[in-house]
Chain A
Amino acid sequence: MSDPKDFVAVVDSDARRTPRRIAFITKRTSPQVRVKDEDRVMTYPEVFFRAVVAIEVLAIALVVTSLLWDAPLEGLADPMHTPNPAKAPWYFLGLQELLHYFPPVVAGVLIPGLVVMALIIIPYFNINVEAEGLWLRDKARRLRIFGIVVVVFCIFLSVFDVWVALVPTVIVAAFMFLAAQTDPQTAQGFRRWLVKKPLSFWIMTWFLFELIVLTAIGTFFRGPGWSWVLPWRGSY
């Protein structure tokens, strides 16, 4: 009783020649399949519901703020009477602080222009896309390059007396060079985290730090004639 088989079992990886596959499940293996796709939820209602709740919480917070604090309104605009200091909206006060040190073409045009350009090219910046720790490869050469860049930049800021921008630069640079001196396998969590950071992280963190410091100084610490004041002394 020899039943002729209507198939021939071969081992082949070309799907065009052997389009039919048979999976042999032996006793020891289970027919489980590793799920590659992760948990998904329906956008309606799950995502919309969460977004609406988030927006409602924000709306309540803003309504409460509006009930408690009134928006500022000063006297009628008078071109003949300049207030001292005349301040731009708060999000431009970082730039106005820089205007105090640099000529308008630098602080008002060149720097914001470069910032916008830098923001646009971030995702097209190769070092950034690879997201490799700055010091993990080619360390000696990079130390030389970034050491020179940081020193030259600090000298430049000192020449223009921009101490308020120099301090954040020095702090971020200190952490950057601390990362350079760190063994990637160190047991210290924070330093191990630092050493994995790519160049883009250092640039963006420096930018964020400068943005916060300069905006805060322009908003709270500058008074008549753009002189230093303490916010709680309240001359503004």
Chain B
Amino acid sequence: MAKTIDHLVDQVRENRVWRSIFRSGTGDSNLHRSLFVQQNVFLHLFSIKARKRTLEFSATWYLGALTFGTFLILVITGILLMLYYHPSVPQAYADMKDLQFVVSSGVFLRNLHRWSAHAMVFLVFAHMFKVFYRGAYRTPREFNWVIGVVLLLVTLLLSYTGYLLPWDQLAFWAVTVGSNIASAVPLMGSKIRFLLLGGTAVNANALLRFYVLHCVILPLAAILFIAIHFWRIRKDGGIYPGESPAEGSAK
């Protein structure tokens, strides 16, 4: 049975159309495994080989991968939530109630998006401190650390702009507290706040702005910087292998 399935899979992979899309071909030699990564526009951000030592759980705790995992969950659940959401006052709040009482699995969808968002903020911080305490930011990886700081800020902004969207008391006052801080910037504080909110108070304009930031601008920025962040891992010589490069054992 398993043999038949393998045979069928091979047949599909040898098919002309399939080969025109995925060029690595059949077979499971290391060459094919290399091509699988190298010939794929997304996967070729990563290196073809990795040091075995860097895959141990203690090396990274997989915090970077997990952060990316929360981002994927957030993109998927976020797009689904957009199908049920109108960025207008007070319809936005009514949509929350619809998610609760009308949409199938609407509560689950919103829960998953919200808890994943909190998890992402937490994981980004954890990833940063783990990288710091391992010393993985040192040359030649210093610029990737800076990109990481940018991604931390993008993550915080994503979470913060998303916080307003349910348009309930919690959202409204959390964003009011936050946007009041922006007005403390010397000289141009009130201008910055006006730009952020599209007005002098948190109102329908602010909701629309936060919606556009949350669903278009910041996700695009995140995707761009994540791509650079991953690509730089390869360019900077792979995941940091640790303080003292182990003397290779004689073989």
Contact = CB atoms under 8 A, between A and B. Distances in A.
Instruction: Specify whether A and B are partners.
Output: yes
A37 B168 CA distance: 58
B11 interface: no
Interface string B145-188: 11001001100100110010011111111101110111111100
A119 to B, nearest CB: 5
Given A38-B246, A40-B52, A123 B33 contact: no
Nearest to B47: A43
Contacts of A79: 172, 201-203
B152 to A, nearest CB: 8
A123 B185 contact: no
B100 A91 contact: no
Contacts of A66: 108, 111-112, 115
Interface in A8-42: 32, 34-42
Contacts of A105: 184-186
Interface in A58-115: 58-59, 62-63, 65-67, 69-79, 81-83, 86-92, 95-96, 99, 103-105, 107-109
B119 interface: yes
Interface stretch (A48-56, A144-152, A162-170, A177-185): A48-56
Nearest to A204: B132
B139 A123 contact: yes
Given A51-B65, A59-B69, A119-B149, A46 B55 contact: yes
Contacts of B68: 55
Interface residues of A, number: 70
Interface residues of B, number: 91
Nearest to A84: B173
A59 B184 CA distance: 39
Contact of B66 (A37, A58, A82, A124): A58
Interface string B100-130: 1000000110111111101101000100110
Contacts, number: 203
Contacts of A45: 33
A131 interface: yes
A77 B73 contact: no
B111 to A, nearest CB: 4
Nearest to A205: B133
Given A42-B48, A77-B167, A104 B184 contact: yes
A89 B159 contact: yes
Nearest to B180: A104
Contact of A41 (B49, B70, B135, B249): B49
Nearest to B33: A42
9 contacts: A38-B52, A41-B50, A41-B55, A43-B50, A44-B33, A83-B169, A91-B121, A91-B125, A105-B185
Interface of B: 30, 33-34, 36-37, 43, 46-53, 55, 62, 65-66, 68-70, 72-73, 89-90, 93, 96, 100, 107-108, 110-116, 118-119, 121, 125, 128-129, 132-133, 135, 137-139, 141-143, 145-146, 149, 152-153, 156, 159-160, 163, 166-174, 176-178, 180-186, 201-203, 241, 245-251
